[in-house]
């Protein structure tokens, strides 16, 4: 099992550009999550999904969109990138009924 994978590892965007951060898991987990980690801070929840076709907002959803068309994939879309979105983005997944979330390696995004 590859676990939770994220691409790209690093990305630099210009203000106003858009991009999609990819997340995939091969553990057949129903629940998936996106977090962001700003420098010197803990992770904050952006969006989450309990299954294909079902998504919901977390604590900091503004400026982001998500979709979940398959169990495996949970992409995060940034529209009109802003410097405030400079952060490290983590994807995580969890089996329904389980307690542990499994994290991907993260994507470091810089918006200049």
Partner 1 sequence: AQTVTQSQPEMSVQEAETVTLSCTYDTSESDYYLFWYKQPPSRQMILVIRQEAYKQQNATENRFSVNFQKAAKSFSLKISDSQLGDAAMYFCAYRGLTGGGADGLTFGKGTHLIIQP
CA atoms in the 13 A half-sphere facing the CB of 74: 32
CB of 43 to partner 1, least distance (A): 5
| Interatomic CA distance for residues 74 and 64, integer angstroms | 13
By beta-carbon proximity to partner 1, the closer residue of 14 and 96 is 96
- Tell how far CA 75 is from the center of its chain: 7
Q: Which of the residues 60 through 89 are near partner 1 (CB under 8 A)?
A: 88
| 50 makes contact with partner 1 (CB under 8 A) | yes
CB of 16 to partner 1, least distance (A): 27
Going by C-alpha positions, the residue among 8, 42, 25, 2 that lies closest to residue 98 is 25
Tokens representing residue 37 in the block: 């980690």
| 2 makes contact with partner 1 (CB under 8 A) | no
| 105 makes contact with partner 1 (CB under 8 A) | yes
Among the residue ranges 12-20, 28-36, 66-74, 75-83, the one whose residues contact partner 1 (CB under 8 A):
28-36
């Amino acid at each position: 099992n590859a676990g939770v994978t994220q691409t790209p590892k690093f990305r630099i965007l210009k203000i106003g550009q858009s991009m999609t951060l990819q997340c995939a898991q091969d553990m057949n987990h129903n629940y998936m999550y996106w977090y962001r980690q700003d420098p010197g801070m803990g992770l904050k929840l952006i969006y989450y999904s309990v299954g294909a076709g079902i998504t919901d907002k977390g604590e900091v959803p503004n400026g982001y969109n998500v979709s979940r068309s398959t169990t495996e994939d949970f992409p995060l879309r940034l529209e009109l990138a802003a410097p405030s979105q400079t952060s490290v983005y983590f994807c995580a997944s969890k089996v329904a009924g389980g307690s542990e979330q499994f994290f991907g390696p993260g994507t470091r995004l810089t918006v200049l």
